[in-house]
């Protein structure tokens, strides 16, 4: 069974890196967890309280909500520790995701699949739209230069979704996958997208 482990939001703040400062809301923090499962509203614009600095890469109707598998976190923690020589536990939301999930992988989700989170009458219905294409902001967030390249190579991209039904959800809610036409998986779409020029990201 798949379930929601955390809901996170972020405000637009300066993100400072080696090449200066840029506005970003990638720094998200949990507002609903398994320990404190606060109910949070989700609309067609995204998760209540969340902001987006650049809607070309996050936000808008087709990228309203970003999901990331909790199962990928240990890999990123190891890579970050190796790059920075520090041991620091990564809290949910650190990858910039709104919804941290359990049991939902890029290799098992297809573009057009629907995700029912929580109760059918009061919960949220999402539709899977595309994988994340990481940019230089992810490098700054992670603290090392080749983080975006590693996300591309690993295909641990997470998944963007549009909101079909607005509602209220909380950490601990079950997630039910409703199959769509199943023409292309998220990892297949990622490979197609990364066949294009992305050298500027690395």
Q: 201 lies in a domain?
A: no
Domain with residue 109: its CATH number is 2.40.33.20
User: What distances in angstroms separate CA 83 from CA 32, 77, 79, one per listed residue?
Assistant: 30, 10, 6
Closest CA to 45 of 105, 98, 103, 85: 98
Report pLDDT for 57.
72
Q: 9 lies in a domain?
A: yes
Q: 172 lies in a domain?
A: yes
Phi, psi of 110 (to 5 degrees): -115, 145
Q: What are the tokens at 122?
A: 């009061």
Q: What are the tokens at 41?
A: 């509203």
Q: 69 lies in a domain?
A: yes
Q: 19 lies in a domain?
A: yes
Q: Mean pLDDT of residues grouped by 10 in the chain (202 residues)?
A: 96 84 94 98 97 80 96 96 91 98 97 97 97 93 93 96 98 98 96 67 44
Report pLDDT for 132.
95
HSE (CB half, 13 Å, CA atoms) of 13? 11
Report pLDDT for 196.
54
Q: 125 lies in a domain?
A: yes
Helix (H) or strand (E) holding 74: helix 73-84
Report pLDDT for 99.
98
What gap in Å lies between CA 87 and CA 100, rounded to an integer? Answer: 21
For the chain, how many structural domains are there in total? 1
The region, left, alpha or beta by phi > 0 then psi within -120 to 50, assigned to residue 10 is: beta
The model's pTM is: 0.94
What gap in Å lies between CA 150 and CA 154, rounded to an integer? Answer: 6
Domain with 115, as residue range(s), is: 2-195
């Amino acid at each position: 069974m798949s379930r929601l482990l955390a809901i996170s939001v972020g405000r637009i703040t300066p993100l400072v890196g080696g090449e200066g400062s840029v506005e970003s809301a990638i720094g998200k923090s949990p507002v609903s967890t398994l320990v404190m499962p606060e109910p949070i509203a989700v609309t067609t614009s995204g998760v209540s309280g969340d902001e987006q600095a650049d809607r070309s890469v996050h936000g808008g109707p087709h990228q309203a909500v970003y999901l990331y598998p909790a199962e990928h976190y240990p890999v990123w923690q190891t890579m970050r520790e190796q790059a920075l020589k520090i041991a620091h536990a990564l809290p949910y939301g650190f990858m910039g995701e709104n919804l941290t999930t359990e049991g939902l992988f890029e290799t098992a989700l297809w573009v057009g699949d629907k995700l029912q989170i929580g109760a059918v009458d009061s919960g949220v219905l999402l539709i899977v739209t595309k994988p994340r294409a990481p940019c230089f902001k992810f490098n700054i967030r992670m603290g090392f230069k080749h983080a975006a390249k590693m996300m591309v190579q690993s295909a641990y991209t997470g998944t963007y979704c549009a909101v079909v039904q607005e509602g209220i959800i909380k950490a601990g809610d079950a997630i039910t996958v409703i199959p769509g036409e199943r023409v292309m998986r998220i990892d297949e779409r990622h490979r197609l997208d990364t066949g294009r020029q992305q050298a500027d990201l690395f």
